[in-house]
Amino acid sequence: MTVIEARGLRKAFGTTIALDSVNLRVEEGRIVGLIGPNGAGKSTALNAILGLTSYQGELRVLGRDPWTERDQLMRDVCFIADVAVLPRWMRVSQALEYMAGVHPRFDRAKAKGFLAKTDIRQPSKIRELSKGMVTQLHLALVMAIDARLLVLDEPTLGLDILYRKQFYDSLLNDYFDRSRTIVVTTHQVEDVQHVLTDLIFINHGRIVLDCGMEEFESRYLEVAVRPEQIAAARALQPIHERQVLGRSTLLFDHVDRQQLAALGEVRTPSIADLFVALMGNQAGEAQGAAR
């Protein structure tokens, strides 16, 4: 089943084009990373998917138009923003009671089960919790809703590495199954590489890359090239080159692994390295067009 489908999705704020003819398709049971620099259009795309902003073009989420059918859509969609918006005066127990009263698919017992794995106590006020604990509470409330689509916008922003790991471990082990779909945006891409099934790069409102992680791992290869093989490596037209500890590391697209193995040590690049390579290429192309 297709969970999100966009065709020619466009959004402009005055003369600024936030989304520029975006075509997008997300299938059920996938964990999709939407990666892009600041101002790339990520938040605008999420807001359109959540029915929080109008748009031009076609967009269907779980078969519904999110702008005109948002009330019905929100029964099947949950959202965690980069800033927790839980009322600071509220107690944890009151947050559980409130959720049970406003959302028909909230399971209070399940939320309590998630909280039992943390140091959060129900009598505590939210203002007494650390930032990491507020994020854990937010996740427990969301995971206790039987939603079909979960949207995460920088969910671990400002958290230390321990809390970030716990967050994604909980997401995978306690929430995700093949009937749920997750869309996550983050600048901490190293945290999500092992989690994702699909990868989307967006820049200047346009999709730069859209592929599954299996394709990513087979298509892109990085080589720490031996000095005597630099000329031969460059002849294969790498998409990016950088220096690491005085050694040239080249990134290739659709080049045979055995052919590259003769040049040096071959490995799968990180998402961050591929992102830098593709964004750098786009910037170079833009500069060339402007000259």
CATH code of residue 17: 3.40.50.300
Tokens for 15? 């003369």
Q: Please report the pLDDT score of residue 286 as a whole number.
A: 44
Domain edge (last residue) among 149, 183, 204: 204
Q: Same domain, yes or no, for 220 and 189?
A: no
Q: Same domain, yes or no, for 161 and 272?
A: no
Answer yes or no: are the C-beta atoms of 139 and 111 closer than 8 Å: no
Q: Same domain, yes or no, for 180 and 232?
A: no
Q: Same domain, yes or no, for 29 and 158?
A: yes
Does 237 reside within a domain? Answer: yes
Does 232 reside within a domain? Answer: yes
Q: Please give the residue range of the domain that contains residue 127.
A: 2-204
Q: Please report the pLDDT score of residue 27 as a whole number.
A: 96
Q: Same domain, yes or no, for 246 and 269?
A: yes
Q: Same domain, yes or no, for 224 and 172?
A: no
Per-residue pLDDT of the chain (291 residues; tens, 9 = 90+): 899 999 999 999 999 999 999 999 999 999 999 999 988 999 999 999 999 999 999 999 999 999 999 999 998 999 987 766 788 999 999 999 999 998 888 999 999 998 998 899 999 999 999 888 888 898 889 889 989 999 999 888 777 888 888 888 888 888 888 789 999 998 888 888 889 999 999 999 999 999 999 999 999 999 999 999 999 999 999 999 999 888 899 999 999 999 999 999 999 999 999 999 998 765 444 434 333
Measure the CA–CA gap between 189 and 216, rounded to whole angstroms.
Answer: 14
* C-alpha dist (Å) from residue 246 to 141, 168, 274: 49, 35, 20
Does 116 reside within a domain? Answer: yes
Domain edge (last residue) among 170, 204, 238: 204
Q: Same domain, yes or no, for 123 and 78?
A: yes
Q: Same domain, yes or no, for 190 and 220?
A: no
Q: Same domain, yes or no, for 118 and 43?
A: yes
Tokens for 78? 């949950």
Does 266 reside within a domain? Answer: yes
Q: Same domain, yes or no, for 28 and 128?
A: yes
Q: Same domain, yes or no, for 47 and 146?
A: yes
- What is the total count of domains within the chain? 2
* C-alpha dist (Å) from residue 223 to 42, 101, 159, 237: 31, 56, 33, 13
Element (H, E) at 252: strand 247-253
Does 210 reside within a domain? Answer: no
Domain edge (last residue) among 177, 204, 231: 204
Measure the CA–CA gap between 152 and 254, rounded to whole angstroms.
Answer: 31
Tokens for 184? 């996550």
Does 28 reside within a domain? Answer: yes
Q: Show the DSSP H helices in the chain as ranges.
A: 42-49, 70-73, 92-102, 108-115, 131-143, 161-170, 213-219, 230-234, 257-261, 271-290
Q: Same domain, yes or no, for 189 and 229?
A: no
